[in-house]
Structure 1
Amino acid sequence: MAEPIRDRLADVRREFHRYPEPAWREFYTTHRLVEEIREVGVDELAVGTEAYDSDDRMAVPDAEDIEEWSERARERGADPELLDSMEGGNTGVVAVLNRGSGPTVGLRVDIDGLFIEESTDDDHVPVAEEFSSEGDGTMHACGHDSHMTWGLATLEAIAESDFEGTLVVFFQPAEEVSGGGHPMAESRFADDLDYLFAVHVGLDHPTGEVVAGIERPLAMCHVDVTFEGTSAHAGKAPQDGDNAMQALGTAIQNAYAIPRHEDGMTRVNLGWAEAGTSSNVIADFAHIEAEARGETTELMEYMQSRLNRTLETAAEMHGCDVDIDVRSKSPRADSDPELADVVANVARDADGVESVLPAADFGASEDATFLMRRVQENGGLATYLIVGTDHPTSHHTPTFDVDERSLEIGVDVLVESIRSVPGTEA
C-alpha cells in the first residue's frame, strides 16, 4: 500500500518536476498519474482515446517526434500496455469517483512541460536538492508539476471523505500549446458537470494568497504560416524569383500595424520565423509562427481575420503562395462569482492563507476556458482559481520554481471547495 499522497506532496511534485514532457508527448507522466490513481481507487479511469476523441485535439506534433518521446518513456519504465493505449500521442487521464446522489463536480489540472532548458545554477533549488529536469531541454517551468500533485491529492482526499456526488478530475495534456482543453471539453465526461474548478499556481501572487476566480482571460489563436515562392540566382537572375523572404518581411511589418479595436484589448505577435537557404539564392520559402489574442472571443477573431488578410496580401504582393494553419484556439470564459465565493469563503479559513482576492484579471490565455464555457453553457458554474506561491523568477524561465508550502494550501482549498458546493452533503 503506497504512502498517502497527502503525506508526500513535495516528493510527488519533485518526481513530476524531474521528468517533464511536452504537449501530446506526456507518456511517462500519464503512466505515473495512472499508477497513483490506481492506488487511490476510482470508479472509472480513462486514458487517451477513452478520455476524448483524438480528432478533437489541436496542435499535435508530427508522428516521428511523438514516437521518440514514447520510446523515452518505455526506456524509463512506463507500462508497455499503457503506452500502446496512448499510441499517436493520445496522452492524459480522466478519473471519476461516484459517491452517490449529489452534484457532479469537475477539477481540471494540466500536465505538460515546456521546451526550456532548466538552470544548472547551484542556488537553483531543484539543482541544490537534486530534482532538476532530466528531460533533455524540457522543464516544468509553469508549475504543472504542482498542479498534478494537487489533482492527485484532491482525488485521494475526496475518495476518503463523506462527499456525496460525483467528482471528475481532468488531467489534461497540451495546455502550453492550447491543444488539450478542446477535446476534454467535447468529451462525455464534461456532459453533466454542475461545477468546474480549474487551478494555477503562482502567477505573481505570493505564498499565502488565493485568488478565488480569474476574470478577463484573453481569447487566443496560434497560427503557423508558410510562404512559397520561386528560387532564382540572386546575382544572375533575381528577376526570375518570387521572394518569400520579402513576403515574410512585409507580413511582419504590416501585422504590427493592424488597427486596435475600441471594444477592448487586442494583441498580435509573430514570435518565430525562418526563411531561405543561402545568401546567393532568392528565398523560395519562409515560415512564421504567430498568435492573435483579444479581450473577448470576438476581438480575437477580429485580430485573426486581420492577420490572415495581412499575410495573404503580403504573399500576393511578392508573387508567393501562402498557407495559413490555425494550430489551436481558446475562447474567453470568466469565473462565475457564485462559485468563486465558495472558494473565497473556504480559503479564508484555510491554514497558511493570509490574503484572499475575490477576483483578479488574468491577462494571459488558458485553454481551460473550453471546459469552463462548456459547463457554463450547460447551466453550470465554473471558476479558475490561483493559489499563490513565492517563485524566484517568472513563469516560463529557466530558474522558475515554487514554494512547496503552497502544495498543502492548494489541497486544502480545493478539497474543501469541492465539498462545499451547493447540493453536497459534506
Structure 2
Amino acid sequence: MSKQAERDRLVDLRRELHRHPEPAWREFYTTARIVEELERIGVDDLYVGPDAIAEDERMAVPDDDELEAWYEQAREEGADEEILQQLAGGYTGAVAVVEQGENPEDGPTVGLRVDIDGLLREESTDDDHEPVAEGFRSEHEGAMHACGHDAHATIGLGVIEAVKNSDFEGTLKVFFQPGEEMIAGGKSMAESDHLADVDYLLAAHVGLDHPTGEVVAGMDGFLAVSHFRAEFEGVPAHAGGRPNEGENAVQAMATAVQNLYAIARHEDGATRVNAGKVGGGTATNIVPEEAFVEGEVRGETTELKDYMKERAERVLESAAEMHGCEVEITTNGEAPSAESDDALVAIVGDVADESEGVEEVIERGELGGSEDATYLMRAVQRNGGKAAYVGVGTDHPGGHHTATFDVDEETLPIGIDVLAGAIAEIAAERP
C-alpha cells in the first residue's frame, strides 16, 4: 500500500470513530471497530472487555439502563454482534499483544497506552467546522470527540502495523483504554495483569496547545485528581407552615460549596478545588430533603491531592452536621501524578528529530491538568521499568473540550512514525 493510500485509510478510520463518540464504559462501537482492525492486522494475542481490565477497579460506571441504551445504539449502527457480547455490562477497551523477531522472549516488553472515549458535550454545527463541512460530525447528539481520542485510537492501530513492519524485537502491548475523560479507566488497566511484565511504557496525546509539527518528548506537570459526589439527605417540611421541623439539605450543600473554596492552599505546591455541579430540592414551598454537589480536588503531587481530598471530605461532613443532615461521599474518578523518565524522553526526542513532518522537538512540557495514564506509568515504574508521556502537536480551531475542537489529520502519520520509531529504538537500546 502506498504512503498516500495508508494515510487515507487512517483518515477514514479516524473520521468513522469521530462520528461515533462514546463516553466512559459506553465505548461499545469504538471498541468493536478497534477489535475488528486488530483482527485484520493479525495481533498475536488480543484481550477484550473483562479480559483487558481489572473488573473491580472500574470507576464512574453508568447504571444498567444507560449502558443498555448505548449498547443497543452500537448494535443498530452495525457493530459486530460477537464482539459486542464480550463488552456487555460496560466492559469496554482492549489490549493487543504483538511478538516480533526471531526470539521475542529475549527482547523487552514495550507498552503504548492510547485512550478511546469521547465527551458528553454537543459538537458544533457551524458550516466552517471541518467535521460538518466534510460530513463526519458526531452522529451521537450530546457527545463528541472534543479531545482527540479518535486520533489516539487510530494512531495506536497505526503503530501496531508500523512495528510489525519494522526491525523491532521483543513484545509490544498496546492498551486501548476506556474512560479517561472521567478519570475512570486507567486504574482498571493498571491493576490488570497486563502491566506486570511491561519494561517500558509510552503514553501519548495530540494537541495540548502545541501545533502540528511540534513533538514534546516528555510531558510532566500532571495534577493528581479526585472526583467526588456528595449526596446530602435532610428532613422535608412545609416551608411556610412548619419550616422549623425540616432539616434543609440545600443549606448543607450551599455551606459545603462555600467552605470548599476556603480550604487553605498548601505551601508545597499547587492545589485546586472546584464544585462543578450542584442541585437539590423539589419545590419552592418544601424544605429540601435532598441535595448534591459534584466536584473535584487536584494537587501538584499525589500527596497534595490527598491533602485536598481529606479536607474536602471534612468540609462536606461538617456542613451536613451543621444543618442536621446526613451525607454520603463517593469517589467517581481518581488519578495520581507522574513524571516522565529521562532515558525514554531522550530516545523519543532523538527519533522525533529524524521523523518526517516534525519541525520542532521540545524536550519537556507541562500538562497542567490531569490524566489517568499516570496509573499505568506509575505501575510500570513501580515494577522497575520506565515510562514517558509524549505530546504530538496538532493544529485545532478550538481548545480541547470545546464544541469546535478538531484534529489536523497530518498529525496521524507524525504520531505513528514518532511512536513506532521510539518503540523500536527503546527495544534496541534497553535504556
TM-score under structure 1 normalisation?
A: 0.98
- Asked if the contact 1:102–1:164 (Cα under 8 Å) also holds between the matched residues in 2, the reply is yes
2:48: which partner in 1? 47
- For residues 90-169 of structure 1, the aligned pairs below 5 Å read 90-99=91-100, 100=104, 101-169=106-174
Distance 1:126 1:170 in 2: 27
1:38: which partner in 2? 39
Shift >4 Å, 4+ stretches: 3-7
Which amino acid in 1 is paired with 2:66?
Answer: D
1:296: which partner in 2? 301
**Which deviations, in whole Å up to 9, do the C-alpha atoms of 1:53-112 show, x marking residues without a partner?**
211111111111011100101111112221111111000010000121311000000000
2:367: which partner in 1? 362
Say whether 1:20 aligns with 2:25. Answer: no
Say whether 1:344 aligns with 2:349. Answer: yes
Distance 2:318 2:347 in 1: 50
- Asked if the contact 2:250–2:290 (Cα under 8 Å) also holds between the matched residues in 1, the reply is yes
Distance 1:139 1:22 in 2: 9
Correspondent of 2:290 among 285, 288, 301: 285
- Asked if the contact 2:169–2:427 (Cα under 8 Å) also holds between the matched residues in 1, the reply is no
Distance 1:371 1:247 in 2: 38
Distance 1:156 1:149 in 2: 11
Give the CA deviation at 1:301. Answer: 0.3
Distance 1:167 1:55 in 2: 26
Give the CA deviation at 1:7. Answer: 4.8
- For residues 64-103 of structure 1, the aligned pairs below 5 Å read 64-99=65-100, 100=104, 101-103=106-108
Distance 1:144 1:334 in 2: 22
Give the CA deviation at 1:216. Answer: 1.8
- Asked if the contact 1:30–1:93 (Cα under 8 Å) also holds between the matched residues in 2, the reply is yes
Which amino acid in 1 is paired with 2:205?
Answer: H
Say whether 1:219 aligns with 2:224. Answer: yes
Which amino acid in 1 is paired with 2:416?
Answer: V
Say whether 1:379 aligns with 2:384. Answer: yes
Which amino acid in 1 is paired with 2:16?
Answer: E
Distance 2:167 2:393 in 1: 28
Structure 2 segments unaligned to the other structure (5+ residues):
none
Match of 1:248, SS state, is helix
Which amino acid in 2 is paired with 1:64?
Answer: D
TM-score under structure 2 normalisation?
A: 0.97
- Asked if the contact 1:181–1:371 (Cα under 8 Å) also holds between the matched residues in 2, the reply is yes
Aligned length: 424
1:388: which partner in 2? 393
Say whether 1:406 aligns with 2:411. Answer: yes
Structure 1 segments unaligned to the other structure (5+ residues):
none
Distance 1:353 1:138 in 2: 32
Give the CA deviation at 1:422. Answer: 4.8
Give the CA deviation at 1:391. Answer: 0.8
Distance 2:343 2:166 in 1: 24
Say whether 1:275 aligns with 2:280. Answer: yes
Distance 1:388 1:234 in 2: 56
Distance 1:350 1:289 in 2: 44
Distance 1:79 1:56 in 2: 26
Match of 1:375, SS state, is helix
- Asked if the contact 2:269–2:300 (Cα under 8 Å) also holds between the matched residues in 1, the reply is yes
- Asked if the contact 1:98–1:165 (Cα under 8 Å) also holds between the matched residues in 2, the reply is yes
Match of 1:323, SS state, is strand
Give the CA deviation at 1:350. Answer: 1.0
Give the CA deviation at 1:263. Answer: 0.4
Distance 2:134 2:164 in 1: 32
- For residues 199-238 of structure 1, the aligned pairs below 5 Å read 199-238=204-243
CA RMSD of aligned residues (A): 1.3
Distance 2:253 2:204 in 1: 39
Which amino acid in 2 is paired with 1:307?
Answer: A
- Asked if the contact 1:5–1:152 (Cα under 8 Å) also holds between the matched residues in 2, the reply is no
Distance 1:372 1:108 in 2: 9
- Asked if the contact 1:344–1:356 (Cα under 8 Å) also holds between the matched residues in 2, the reply is yes
Distance 2:428 2:399 in 1: 39
1:181: which partner in 2? 186
- Asked if the contact 1:391–1:403 (Cα under 8 Å) also holds between the matched residues in 2, the reply is yes
- Asked if the contact 1:103–1:424 (Cα under 8 Å) also holds between the matched residues in 2, the reply is no
- Asked if the contact 1:104–1:166 (Cα under 8 Å) also holds between the matched residues in 2, the reply is yes
Distance 1:212 1:157 in 2: 20
- Asked if the contact 2:170–2:427 (Cα under 8 Å) also holds between the matched residues in 1, the reply is no
